[in-house]
Amino acid sequence: GENVEQHPSTLSVQEGDSAVIKCTYSDSASNYFPWYKQELGKRPQLIIDIRSNVGEKKDQRIAVTLNKTAKHFSLHITETQPEDSAVYFCAATNQAGTALIFGKGTTLSVSS
Amino acid sequence: KAGVTQTPRYLIKTRGQQVTLSCSPISGHRSVSWYQQTPGQGLQFLFEYFSETQRNKGNFPGRFSGRQFSNSRSEMNVSTLELGDSALYLCASSLFEQNTGELFFGEGSRLTVL
């Protein structure tokens, strides 16, 4: 089945710096790659997603890139702020589209 | 529009007991997925239901089971509880038949096994 690897597991940056989180997936038929943010004590929420027919997508300070050949995708956060501190999860669908498989998460800490 | 509702929010059980958790999806959503969240292991996929059919199951022992009703509400059951089953169990619903759209998560049911 689908397997998603996520790195790093923890990331500490200074306010204003950029943060990059990388994920790889195993199922070459995966076609949907969302990123979720989970703040402490809260439920995961979608922040951005990308589909397999697109190489890059941006939404203000957040961008996601996808390399289908290498089977990896990345989340880029620019001009980080303390409120970006949270756990970020990448995910990929399985071939049949009947499961969204998550990576183990990256704890991002932004210090001011 | 009401969000995904999970009950109970907190529960404490002892080893060997069994537990049933409930999830009411957003109105109109027919796909319901369940995840186990533990520190360091992220969100581990348990199973997914669509129109009362289990379409996929994660790598969990047979003690973990679930079902979905005709109104899309879902339940999961864990029998013969073990200490390692202590976790936050999250339910998520989706509007799409294929899981290629946003999952809306509930607040979870936190299970402690003593």
Averaged confidence pLDDT in chain A: 95
Q: Is B62 exposed, middle or buried (0-12, 13-18, 19+ CB in 10 A)?
A: exposed
Q: Measured between beta carbons, which residues in chain A are less than 8 angstroms from residue B44?
A: 102
- To the nearest whole Å, the CA of B44 is away from the closest chain A CA by 7
CB proximity B106 to A under 8 Å: yes
Per-residue pLDDT averaged across B67-78, rounded? 97
Query: pLDDT digit string (tens) for A65-86?
Result: 999 999 999 999 999 999 999 9
Per-residue pLDDT averaged across A32-45, rounded? 96
Structure tokens at A89: 């999860």
Statement: residue A46 has pLDDT above 70: yes
Q: Is A13 exposed, middle or buried (0-12, 13-18, 19+ CB in 10 A)?
A: middle
CB proximity B46 to A under 8 Å: no
Per-residue pLDDT averaged across B7-29, rounded? 97
Contact: A34, B43; criterion CB under 8 Å: no
Nearest CA in chain B to A46: B102
- To the nearest whole Å, the CA of A104 is away from the closest chain B CA by 4
**Is-cis flag, bond preceding A44, omega within 30?**
no
Q: Measured between beta carbons, which residues in chain B are less than 8 angstroms from residue A46?
A: 102-103
Statement: residue A94 has pLDDT above 90: no
Averaged confidence pLDDT in chain B: 95
Q: What is the pLDDT of residue A74?
A: 98
CB proximity B9 to A under 8 Å: no
Per-residue pLDDT averaged across A87-100, rounded? 91
pLDDT band at A61 (very low <50, low <70, confident <90, very high): very high
Whole-number Å distance between alpha carbons of B45 and B57? 8
Share of chain A above pLDDT 90, in %: 90
Structure tokens at A103: 């990576």
Contact: A99, B97; criterion CB under 8 Å: no
Please tell me which of the candidates A1, A51, A100 has its beta carbon nearest to residue B33: A100
Query: pLDDT digit string (tens) for B39-71?
Result: 888 999 999 999 999 999 999 999 999 999 999
Q: What is the pLDDT of residue B99?
A: 67
